[in-house]
Amino acid sequence: MTSESVIAEVLLPLALATPYSYRVPPDMEVVEGSYVEVPLGPRSYIGVVWEVRPFVASNMRLRDIAQVFTTPAMPATHRKFIEWLATYYLEPKGSVLRMALRVPSAFEAPRAQTAFRIATGLPKRMTPQRQRVLEVMRDGFPLQAREIADLAGVGTSVVKAMAKDGAIEELALPALRPFAEPDPGAEALPFNAEQQQAADELRSMVAARQHKVTLLDGVTGSGKTEVYFEAMAEALRQGRQVLLLLPEIALTAPFLARVERRFAAEPAGWHSDLRPRERERVWRGVAEGHARIVVGARSALFLPWANLGLIVVDEEHEGAYKQDEGVSYHARDMAVLYGALAQFPVVLSSATPSLESLVNVDRGRYASVRLHDRHGRAELPDIGLIDMRSADVPTGSWLSAPLLADVKATIEAGDQALLFLNRRGYAPLTLCRACGHHLNCPNCSAAMVEHRFRRILQCHHCGHQEPATNTCPKCNTEGKLVPIGPGVERLAEEAARHFPEARIAILSSDISRGVMLRDVLKEVADGVWNLVIGTQLVAKGHHFPHLTLAGIVDADLALESSDPRSGERTWALLAQVAGRAGRGEKPGRAFVQTYAPEHPLMRALKSGDRDSYLAQERLIRQAGGLPPYGRLAALIISSDKAHEAEAFAKALAKIIPPTDDLQVLGPAIAPIAVIRGRHRWRLLVKASRTVDLQAFLRLWLKDVKPKGQLQLQIDVDPYNFL
């Protein structure tokens, strides 16, 4: 085929199900997977050539590809991965591609590496567009013209005009630093017998160069990380790339440093706080194949892998692997899918594996490697239950006398204590004592949460904020608003009353974000703080060697939920929090405050008998036909008008294709009936494992087109039932 006769089907990063056709100009060479720039309407987009086919006369009026980039073509397996993901989650292929193309600057020719930063002068002329440019550049970091344009939603011409004006200045960027070659044999630890056996098994799995999934199931502190490093080393010896997935929040500097020590080379980190320039460096390094180890959050799956040979999913049970916004996907499940498509092994690691993975082990689909003991002298913490019905708890307090005594002893011994409460802010609810009014969000059916440090009330569903107030908005009475219940800030206040000398840190996503949060986590690990009060983000795989006491303030909090996974989740959360204690030289203890000490979960926590608790959970799931014994998909209908959402949900229910193999529950008003001013209804599809759920959904929804303000979101394998 000569180049004159070629048509390229180009997939664009837009909500499109199929690629668009373009003519390849005679002097241009493209292959399947090439990254190209093409015109669409008045704009131009970067897309990927999905297919190349011969030119026929009816294609006369096609537009030309504008340019082809020198970036290595997207490998066929990666394209297949994007297709599969789109099919599985019923998303347009283009929306999935968009996640793989979030680094526009990676396509600029390497010689044109200039950037802009804010200058001292003000623009001669101010327009809303220019204002937006200044806003995105406010923090002073150099950004490239295309990045600024994308962030501010303006054309690059605006950026260039402002540079001429002197409002921003151009500077040359140094070349991107390549990634160093890791050394698979650098600084491996001498293993104990159990670790050695686990490492051998993982190593031989990788050596086989086939698809296989192994669950590395070991108690907290047993050396899972050290063990899966051996699997990574083996893949590196084969010359392949390795992806280590972590929940975003566990991607800390100390963890990256640990990977660097083990392999004597800095790994590529990938998370949402990366500077654009570093983002570009990693993206290119992965595409070119010299970024050999990537330690990343879930979106790292979509990097343009040149030669991926292993994925390790650490903390595989973590809910954070499920993305709910935009394209909803589960990164652990997609890691397994990727391995199956590209024929490489996958390691899932956890101290509290998901029921999904445990059942896959029982079915013989996954192999299992277990580590039963903590490494060295460290032992699993003893877990004690504090029965809050009989414990001594002063009114208006949340910490019982026995827990307080232990915190005191811990601090006095020079150690670190942790108090865990999974609630952000000061108080989850504010009530007017004069008229009984609850302060609620104007946009959502949810309470406003008081954040006292920041002197605001905030809705945790839409982010709506109001200044803290002293006056009831309903009856105008002053001084009668009272906080109900504790959040971490209120708990910190109580702790400070008891321990005025303590160095207290609050670990909560809204107090310390991003880089700052990573700093605080490091300070906790270094023992700068001796009393840590935290939400669930303390449970995510951190290694705090000074911590010897973990106190769980309200163990019953998550159990009330109607989520089918709430039992399993609570179990994992509490076991992980308790597991933060005693990972260093000194033994640890954990205390669990509960009003239901006879609950099977609490009893299992105390006795450490995970298997019998999970066996019971499995029976419940099995009886209910719930995952992993059955499959679920949620349909979430929303609209700014209540009646519209209701009518659409009911209309959907009327056209359910006749079937005996599955059940559609609802429609019903969602548990959170209104979010961001949108009224919400839900339908839940429940199917046995053998049913083709996606085919059913496609058939059902093939002619359904929500109009106007109506939205229909399909959530396959939902984790969120609100």
Question: Which of the choices Zn ion, ligand ADP, none does residue 461 contact, using the CB cut-off of 5 to 8 A by kind?
Answer: Zn ion
Site for ligand ADP in 194-213 (CB under 6 A): 195
**For ligand ADP, the closer CB: 225 or 430:** 225
Tokens standing for residue 406: 């232990």
The yes or no reply on residue 465 touching Zn ion (CB under 5 A) is: no
* CA nearest neighbour of 308 among 347, 339, 267, 265: 339
User: CB of residue 426 vs Zn ion: minimum separation in angstroms?
Assistant: 17
- CA 26 distance to own-chain centroid: 44
Binding characters for ligand ADP, 365-394, by CB under 6 A (x = yes): ----------x-------------------
**For Zn ion, the closer CB: 533 or 675:** 675
**For Zn ion, the closer CB: 444 or 645:** 444
Site for Zn ion in 445-464 (CB under 5 A): 459, 461-462, 464
Tokens standing for residue 163: 């540079």
As a whole number of angstroms, the distance between CA 325 and CA 298 comes to 13
**For ligand ADP, the closer CB: 52 or 253:** 253
What SS3 string covers 627-653? CCCEEEEEEEEEECCHHHHHHHHHHHH
- Residue corresponding to tokens 């390497």: 110
Binding characters for ligand ADP, 316-355, by CB under 6 A (x = yes): ----------------------------------------
**For Zn ion, the closer CB: 75 or 425:** 425
As a whole number of angstroms, the distance between CA 404 and CA 358 comes to 37
CB 352 within 8 A of CB 317: yes
**For ligand ADP, the closer CB: 42 or 190:** 190
- For residue 17, the 8-state DSSP code is S
Task: Candidates 71, 197, 368, 443: give the one binding Zn ion (CB under 5 A).
Answer: 443
- CA 292 distance to own-chain centroid: 22
**For ligand ADP, the closer CB: 6 or 575:** 575
Binding characters for ligand ADP, 278-317, by CB under 6 A (x = yes): ----------------------------------------
CA dist 719 to 29, 88, 320, 326, 570, Å?
45, 16, 10, 15, 14
The yes or no reply on residue 224 touching ligand ADP (CB under 6 A) is: yes
Task: Candidates 15, 76, 189, 699: give the one binding ligand ADP (CB under 6 A).
Answer: 189
Task: Candidates 223, 534, 588, 627: give the one binding ligand ADP (CB under 6 A).
Answer: 223
The yes or no reply on residue 84 touching ligand ADP (CB under 6 A) is: no
CB 523 within 8 A of CB 515: no
As a whole number of angstroms, the distance between CA 423 and CA 425 comes to 7
* CA nearest neighbour of 554 among 398, 352, 376: 398
The yes or no reply on residue 218 touching ligand ADP (CB under 6 A) is: yes
The pairs formed by 124-131 with CB atoms below 8 angstroms and a separation of 24 or more are 124/165, 124/167, 125/165, 129/154, 129/158, 130/158, 130/162, 130/167
* CA nearest neighbour of 502 among 532, 522, 525: 532
Question: Which of the choices Zn ion, ligand ADP, none does residue 456 contact, using the CB cut-off of 5 to 8 A by kind?
Answer: none
CB 405 within 8 A of CB 498: no
The yes or no reply on residue 440 touching Zn ion (CB under 5 A) is: no
Question: Which of the choices ligand ADP, Zn ion, none does residue 189 contact, using the CB cut-off of 5 to 8 A by kind?
Answer: ligand ADP
User: CB of residue 423 vs ligand ADP: minimum separation in angstroms?
Assistant: 26
Q: Which residues contribute to the site for Zn ion (CB under 5 A)?
A: 441, 443-444, 459, 461-462, 464
Q: Where do contacts with ligand ADP occur on this chain (CB under 6 A)?
A: 189-192, 195, 218, 220-226, 375, 543
